[in-house]
Structure 1
Amino acid sequence: MTQKVVVAGATGFIGGHVAETLVRAGLDAFAVGRTTNVSVGRFDRGSACAVIDCAGLDPDRVKALKTAFPDSRYVLVSSAAVYRALEEPSALVDERCEVAPLGTRTDYVDKKLRCEELIIEQDAVVVRPVDVVGPRDPHDRIQYWAALGREDSNGVAFCEPTRRIEFVDVRDLATLLLFCATNTDRPTPVVNARVPA
């Protein structure tokens, strides 16, 4: 029987790639999103082996989704921005680094941390990617960083030379999320998604 995976945020940049990766791997992807004018169907919630949440920014929604699929592994796409060490421009972070205390960073970081707290002790994996780039990137991050460099007529670097700017390709992230969702054993509670230094 084909494994079924629920993809929350499937109509977004990361979620779309995740759904495509699941289908290419021979799994059934059940897309959950906010887009209108789509087909609606019934789904046996008990049959999902995993939930991959690519839109986990609202703690109440994360809690409701985890409650709706209590026996499914929950894979939450969080952000590397939660790390306290990122306050230093040249910092190297790994999964053992401290996260920023609530209220000390942006509202976005606080929301991501609250979502993590809701699911981390369960059959869940938190994936913390650095900046995600790739086909269909609505923010076109690579062009953004390149344009900053070109716009400086003085030839000055657009950020400190010691600052680390890291990206992960959305297709590699989707493959990692597939692994975290379908691996029999939970790989680890927290996984960073970044290109190896």
Structure 2
Amino acid sequence: MKLLILGGTRFLGRHIAETASAAGHAVTIFHRGQTPCPLPANVLERFGDRTTPDVATLARERWDLVVDTSGFDPETVGRAARALEPAIGRYIFVSTISVYADASIPDIAEDAPLAALVPTDEVSARYGPLKAAAEGAARDILGARATIVRPGLIIGPYDPTDRFTYWAERLARGGNVLAPGRPERPVQFIDARDLAWWLLRLAEDDATGTFNATGPLVASTMGELLETGIAVLNPPRGTRLHWVDDEALLAAGIAPWNELPLWLPECSDHLGFLQVNIERARAAGLRTRDVASTFRDTAAWAATLPSEREYAVGLIPERERGLLESVGIV
């Protein structure tokens, strides 16, 4: 299969390039050259800006599959889809579960209403509606050749967001670990390598339609997740999880999802993002690995990063210790 990735140097795109190359596919990535990364020797690179006419030069070749990991808004996605339409077989657009209008309810399926664009300067409030509009642009131009995939939280090596890396490094460091909310609270996530493999599977099966893409396939909780991390990362003896309830965390001004990744208070309007329906993806062959291997591999990758780097999210040690002291735990 001749594959073009729009993006390809960061996180999911990089995993797609590596997975497809290892499977024997002919892989080309199109990017601006601003995020250099090591790639397999047989992966080709084309440089350009997809928001300009540069993207039209890609239509000089025939592509069996285009995977769009970098499209954010309908104008950019529409430009690529129009330019490439005569030259492609299938177009997989990587969207997000943030497209749904009501994220407060569990078991959100693919036919749920989508968020509409409203005037706002808040970037996070525009992200889901823009992605939803971008899905529409791809479908309008490519019809059934457009496959829409809506991932939940993507985790694993190469993650620039630190949302899972925070927990891998924090649990490995050990000691008194602040754990948010109830241990029985459901969580969902997908290893980027599982998502990469499955996107290629969709293309090989010529699957069309829209799919939520998260996991694990067997429901998991925050308690199970963190206990697994402790079991596989071998922190110092005496490491303990201390569960702090939503009310105390909110009263302390902790920012859900950012300061404590994977934590959404149970009063949140977004709690459904951690309980989405994935039956359609399961039927289309989605499989997910044991999160223990994701913990091990993420921790190993994180160990190669500069020790003085700034983290994108997570509690700094002093803030965590102060919170535990304030609720009388340590």
Above 0.5 in TM-score? yes
The secondary structure found in structure 2 opposite 1:55 is coil
Whichever residue aligns with residue 23 of structure 2, its letter is A
The reply to whether residue 113 of structure 1 matches residue 155 of structure 2 is no
Question: What's the CA shift for 1:46?
Answer: 3.9
Root-mean-square deviation (CA), in Å? Answer: 3.0
8 Å CA contact 1:130–1:194 kept in 2: the answer is: yes
Letter in 1 for 2:15: H
Q: Deviation per CA, 1:86-118, whole angstroms, max 9, x where unpaired?
A: 224xx1222232222333971111210111010
In structure 2, what is the equivalent of residue 144 of structure 1? 166
Secondary structure of the residue that 2:202 maps to in structure 1? helix
Percent identity of the aligned residues?
A: 34
Maintained 8 Å contact 1:50/1:182? no
Q: How far apart in 2 are the matches of 1:59 and 1:103?
A: 14
Matched, 1:126 2:126: no
Corresponding position: 1:178 with 2:200: yes
> How far is 1:6 from its partner?
0.8
Q: Is the 8 A contact 2:7 2:68 kept in 1?
A: yes
Which stretches in structure 2 are left out of the alignment for 5+ residues? 37-44, 48-56, 220-330
Distance verdict in 2 for CA 1:37–1:120, change over 3 Å: closer
Name the count of aligned residue pairs.
188
Aligned residues of 2:148 and 2:209 also touching (Cα < 8 A): yes
Paired position in structure 1 for 2:92: 75
Q: Could you give the per-residue CA deviations for residues 33-72 of structure 1, whole angstroms, max 9, x where no partner exists?
A: 1224986588664410111000110322211211221142
Q: Retained in 2: the 8 A contact 1:46–1:69? A: no
Bigger RCO of structures 1 and 2 (CA < 8 A, at least 6 apart): 1
Q: Which residue of 1 aligns with 2:213?
A: 193
Code of the aligned partner of 1:15:
G
Shift in CA distance, 36/144, structure 1 to aligned 2, threshold 3 Å: closer
- Contact kept? 1:45, 1:68, Cα under 8 Å: no
- 1:153-179 alpha-carbon deviations (Å, 9 max, x no partner): 896x52466754311000011012112
Give distance in 1, aligned partners of 2:182 and 2:60.
49
Contact 2:4–2:27 under 8 Å retained in 1: yes
Give the residue type in structure 2 aligned to 1:33. Answer: H
Cα distance in 2 between the residues matched to 1:37 and 1:141: 20
- SS of residue matched to 2:164: helix
Gaps of 5+ in 1: none
2:11 to 13, 25, 29: 13
**TM-score, scaled to structure 2:** 0.50
In 2 relative to 1, CA 45–134 (structure 1 residues): closer, same or farther, beyond 3 Å?
A: farther
For residues 35 and 99 of structure 2, the distance between their equivalents in structure 1, rounded to whole angstroms, comes to: 35
Q: Please name the residue that 1:31 is paired with.
A: 29
Partner Cα distance (1:154, 1:49) in 2: 48
Paired amino acid for 1:92: D
Choose the corresponding residue for 1:61, options 65, 69, 76.
76
Could you tell me how far apart the structure 1 residues matched to 2:71 and 2:9 are?
13
Cα distance change, pair 21–154 in 1 and its aligned pair in 2 (3 A): closer
Residue range with higher mean Cα deviation, 58-67 or 110-119: 58-67
Indicate how the Cα distance of structure 1 residues 136 and 35 shifts in structure 2: closer, same or farther if over 3 A, else same.
same
